[in-house]
Amino acid sequence: MMATLKNATGKTLVIVESPAKAKTIEKYLGKDYIVRASVGHVRDLPKSNKKAIDINAGFKPHYEISKGKHKVIAELESLANEAKEVILATDPDREGEAIAWHLSELLELKDPKRVVYQEITKEAVQEAFKHPRTIDQHMRQAQEARRVLDRLVGYDLSGLIWQKVRYGLSAGRVQSPALRILMEREREIRAFVPEDFWVLTADASTSANPEKFTLTCVENPKTQSKADEIVNLGKKHNWVVTNIKESETKRVPRAPFTTSTLQQTASTRLGYSPSNTMRIAQKLYEKGLITYMRTDSPTLSKQAQAQALAVIDSEFGKEFVQPRNFKSKSKSAQEAHEAIRPSNLGKKIAGATAEQQKLYKLIWARTVASQMTDAHVKRMKVLANITDSQEQIPDFAVRGSRVIFDGWLKADPTAKGEEVQVPAVSKGDALDVNNVEAEGKQTQPPNRYTEAGLIKELEKRGIGRPSTYASIMKTLNDRGYVSKEGKTLMPTDTGDVVSSFLEDHFNKYISDTFTAEMESELDEIAEGKREYVKTLTEFYTPFTKDIDSKANIPKVTNMGDTPEEFKCPECGSNMVYKLSKGGKFMSCSKFPECNGARKADGSIIEPPKEIGEECPKCGESGEKPNKKSPGKLVQREGRFGLFISCSNYPKCKYIKQDALLNSTGVECTECSNGEMIERHGRFGPFYSCSNYPDCKHIIKTRPTGNHCPMCGKLMMEGTKTIPERCSDKTCPNHNPHKS
């Protein structure tokens, strides 16, 4: 530390968020500067809501140094005391402004300088340091208002959901509207009544070109008899080209990327999740390869536009050059003031991973294409029908297109898509048609949202901001409210219950209008047009009254009646859907008098089976005897297989997994009174003592039965190069390669 402080004496200390960014910027600034990282946020609200916000004092937040940041703060404090001056150069958005303010408070800086830049290039950084400013308190307050607002809504709503639905569930100011949008679509799908129709196709070719192409009937018959009639006529008669319709259209390039369009396109083309896209983009930004990646604006600076035009002229030719300016669709683009683009369009990317290269190429192509001429596409529709027949059938058609002039597609060829190839034909040409077929289909309900589709919908409705889209997707998944099937987001039973509860009782607070208006008010705080305390007071006063008014609503005990065919396997009564931690199941409507249950698919859930042993915790021979109702050990089936627990659950939470099913035959070295058995958790299998919770010895992989020659602990299965290794992480034999 002393050496570091000595080197810092008389220098200017610059604080950024990322260590990678710190190295790059220090290189650009030179020997008179020392650059260090805060490693993200340094302070946050405590977990306890009672200590977090003093509402009576004007919604004053009580911040605490984030876990693991005390050492970082101590080093920055020492460096700041030795430095000539301190410059805060965190990201150019509200989060960055907040981090700068927290640092100034913790380090007790007087009038610290604030520097912002949109890209980490030598020119941009050096120019930014010529124009320092003070911390923008309006932007900082807007971030604080969002954080406080989200905490107040989340804790109060979540607390009520714990009481009325199930412990451990949560709600949020932005995540809940997003979940509602998913559930609205899900209800449309459930209510959809499919209709039958038939698709008619015919394989055709010409005498001049034997290559086949497929004609499709322009009208879909609603009945099979009508479809069969058309098929029979098509097989009996000759076919001819009756008409050809051609049109030339232009495809205009899209605007350079904003945060949401980057996340959408990366999901569609590369299969990246929003959070993964932002992680990769963050690395590209820190390496100085792209501009700041949280932005609402599709605008390019004049310098960037000139650079793009020069690259297009050089690589594709003058005929492809077309300067364009794009405006933000957002009413108040709040973050960086430029689109996401490469810092240097003419520079080849180096030192990047494969996924970073893919995302960079996507950004490069979108940026360059935005300044290029329109693509010219010729679309063609060929119509055909039968001849020599007095009976008529609907026209059959094939559509195709071809690119006449690439334009911007030259830079972004992936955007072309698959083009249907249609051979050259003329009106009146005879066709060789065979395989006229009819395929019965049903109309389909609207598609469920993908992550890209949901982000697009959130942006359209004014819900959330660039910095929140990825976290919304992650929260919905982490809470278990949605599951992903391929790219499709499927609301879970838990998500259904939570959304339905909020829609029934707090629909105002998760509506599009309310959420979008609140975002606008936060924007106004950032612009200095609205007061922090007034905004939160106007929201929180009626909100708390609404929360209090729901204190006496009945607890959600069921999710509706099950289909009539599913009766209770115990007493034959009707059943209802209920929600457990493992998802939806069917319960007897007479519970708790009757314990009959079925799984969600209707299969019977066997009642717990006694194994003939008393519970060691609450039985007559246990440590905590319960003479009135001693527990019996019963075998149950859970999410992770069979296990043995007390029949008095949840009053007694003793659990002992079935040693016969899961035993490894290896004695526990910690208590010498149990054996290691296989268990399953949310992260997969692990091995622990059968005497849990009295003995909490756990190892990651299967024990071999051998003991470590160095420390005596259990040896466990290793890898191909290390067949077995010590289970104790502190033992050198745990990782022989390193030792």
- The string over 554-565, giving b where at least 16 C-beta atoms fall within 10 Å of a residue's C-beta and e elsewhere, is eebeebeebeee
Q: Which amino acid is at 610?
A: E
**DSSP conformation class of 269:** I
**DSSP conformation class of 374:** P
CB 472 within 8 A of CB 178: yes
Integer Cα distance of 690 and 673 in angstroms: 9
Q: How far is CA 53 from the centre of its chain?
A: 29
Helix 274-286 and helix 354-369, axial crossing angle in degrees, nearest 10:
90
- Kindly state the tokens that stand for 257: 């990327």
Contacts of 621 (CB under 8 A, 6+ apart): 614
Helix 469-478 and helix 175-191, axial crossing angle in degrees, nearest 10:
70
DSSP one-letter string for 93-150: SHHHHHHHHHHHHHTT-SS-EE---SB-SHHHHHHHTTS-B---HHHHHHHHHHHHHH
Burial class (CB in 10 A: 0-12, 13-18, 19+), 183: buried
CA contacts within 13 A on the Cβ side of 442: 7
CB 426 within 8 A of CB 180: no
Integer Cα distance of 497 and 581 in angstroms: 12
Question: Alpha carbon of 672 to those of 63, 122, 617, 689, 702: distances in Å?
Answer: 47, 64, 20, 10, 18
Active site residue: 33, 63, 285, 292, which one? Answer: 292
**DSSP conformation class of 216:** E
CB 319 within 8 A of CB 376: no
- Kindly state the tokens that stand for 139: 């932007």
CB 657 within 8 A of CB 675: no
Integer Cα distance of 639 and 506 in angstroms: 32
**DSSP conformation class of 226:** H
CB 335 within 8 A of CB 143: no
**Annotated catalytic residue 292:** yes
Integer Cα distance of 685 and 88 in angstroms: 47
3 state DSSP class of 366: helix
Identify the helix (H) or strand (E) that includes residue 6: helix 2-8
CB 599 within 8 A of CB 611: no
- Kindly state the tokens that stand for 674: 């149990």
The 3-state DSSP composition of the chain as helix, strand, coil percent (nearest 5) reads 35, 25, 40
DSSP one-letter string for 683-729: TEEEEEETTTTT---EESS-EEEEE-TTT-PEEEE--SSSSEEES-T
By annotation, the residues acting in catalysis are 292
